[in-house]
Amino acid sequence: MGVRIFAMRPRPGGGFEFVFLMTTFPVQASAVGGWRTVLRSVAALLLGYTILMAGNGLFTTLTALRLIGSGLSTTLTGLIQSLYYVGFFAGTFACGGLIRQVGHHRAFAVMAATITCVALAQSLGVSPWLWALCRLLTGMALVGIFMVMESWLNGCAANHLRGQVMSVYMITGYLGISAGQWLLNVPLSASGSLFSVVGILFALSAIPVTLTTPGTHLGVSPNLLETILRLLATVRQMARLAPIGLGATLVAGCLSGAFYTMIPVFFARHGYGEADIAEFMGLSMLAALSLQWPVGRLSDKVDRRTLLARLCLAIGAIALAIALSGKTAWMLWLILAYVSVTFTLYGVASAIVNDVMPPESRIDTSSVLLLAFAAGGIAGPLLVSLFMDGLGPAGYFYCSAVLSFGLLAAMARYRPSPRAA
């Protein structure tokens, strides 16, 4: 938060007046400390986030499986699932103001309480309209969680540690999501009991975060028009300073949104049962975290844009190999390799953007990144469902290849200025 500095000077007619000199932006102590200092300062936050992501991992896959079991078409399933990202998109306009008004830790608690209620609502029964509303509200709440996490963590990390901090953030998230997948096979007496487990995890996640020392907050929530204007200004600034990072975030949203919502459909269309899908989703989240730390460390040592280009090339090549392989023994291993590379994309893109954006705009930067990610998340399931309807299950990975190679082509055509990324 900026601090305005004034000086007092004599008035010509007598008395004194205050003259504005400048605005300063304090650097958190952990941002200038070492790696251990940063990690200690965010340990409770990461613990709460891991618990919440365990609930979200179970919630997302459980929702997809229940929709498949209800007999809905692939396109309608994709449409309902994409409403999560519509809520995600809309939530970016409201959550930044909430964080400024009540602080990071209280905003986290509010969002956790909201998705607890949503999970319990879904336990009432499968209804396309009810679940569409629930996915919308889930997206709105979770984008607030991600804004809290990313603005908090980026405020704690200096540039030379940012890639590593973001990799730990991604690792804890994927560990939580992976743990959530194994809970799908827990034997419970009632069919809706797993949604109650989701609610318990969401509620538990707020405890370590709310017990942390409160951070500073603005105390005033800007109105919607002010929020939109501020975010538009941030979008313009980001498009000027880091267009590659912004575009990569959009593609990362497409690929991630498609995976969480449509990969269970992909496996179901190949004849896999619920237990097999749950097991694979757990393994895939372990694969997702496997490269986070190596890629994070590498991104702190090499040019991040070059690294991003190589990731895009790898994603596209693996996606084509999966699409052409069909249902073979190699397919599962190739998908795990695809996941391990694909889920490093957002962390690298976020680091590219935060390297060049001013420190005082951390919340707005996180908002815009999540806005772009949400836009991709809305488009991803819809695009993949259309490809799958036209080309069968392999259409999922043909779509992924088109997106990753498209980003690579855009990067090849773009020549950044010295200040842009």
10-51 tens-digit pLDDT: 444 444 444 433 333 333 444 445 667 777 777 888 899 999
Higher-confidence residue of 354 and 189: namely 354
Higher-confidence residue of 79 and 20: namely 79
What single letter denotes the amino acid at residue 294? P
Residue 411 is classified by DSSP as H
Q: Mean per-residue pLDDT for 313-337? A: 89
pLDDT at 55: 92
pLDDT at 90: 84
Indicate whether 11 belongs to any domain.
yes
Indicate whether 418 belongs to any domain.
no
Name the H helices within 183-242: 193-210, 224-241
Task: Name the pLDDT band for 67 (thresholds 50, 70, 90).
Answer: confident
Between the two ends of the chain, the Cα-to-Cα distance in Å is 25
Tens of pLDDT, residues 88-141: 888 877 777 787 777 777 888 899 999 999 999 888 877 888 888 999 999 999
Indicate whether 297 belongs to any domain.
yes
- Confidence check: pLDDT of 216 > 70: no
Check if the beta carbon of residue 300 is closer than 8 Å to that of residue 164.
yes
Which neighbouring-strand residues pair with 19?
A: 7
The residue segments making up the domain with residue 159 are 3-413
Radius of gyration for the chain, computed over Cα atoms and rounded to the nearest angstrom:
22
Residue 219 is classified by DSSP as S
pLDDT at 111: 92
pLDDT at 34: 64
Number of domains composing the chain: 1
- Confidence check: pLDDT of 8 > 60: no
Indicate whether 420 belongs to any domain.
no
Q: pLDDT above 70 covers what percent of the chain?
A: 84
Q: Alpha-carbon distance 404 to 354, whole Å?
A: 22
Q: How many residues does the chain have?
A: 421
Tens of pLDDT, residues 240-272: 888 898 999 999 999 988 898 788 888 888 888
- Reference 183, options 170, 172, 173, 195; nearest CA is 195
Q: Alpha-carbon distance 202 to 117, whole Å?
A: 9
pLDDT at 217: 44
- Confidence check: pLDDT of 314 > 90: yes
Tens of pLDDT, residues 162-188: 777 777 888 888 888 888 888 877 776
pLDDT at 178: 83
Q: Alpha-carbon distance 274 to 290, whole Å?
A: 25
What single letter denotes the amino acid at residue 384? V
Indicate whether 347 belongs to any domain.
yes
Indicate whether 349 belongs to any domain.
yes
CA trace torsion 109, 107, 58, 340 (10° rounding): -140
Domain CATH code at residue 152: 1.20.1250.20
Tens of pLDDT, residues 356-399: 888 777 778 877 888 888 888 888 888 998 899 888 889 999 99
Indicate whether 46 belongs to any domain.
yes
Indicate whether 419 belongs to any domain.
no
Higher-confidence residue of 145 and 221: namely 145
pLDDT at 188: 64
- Which of the residue ranges 15-19, 277-281, 293-297, 335-339 would you say has the lowest mean pLDDT? 15-19
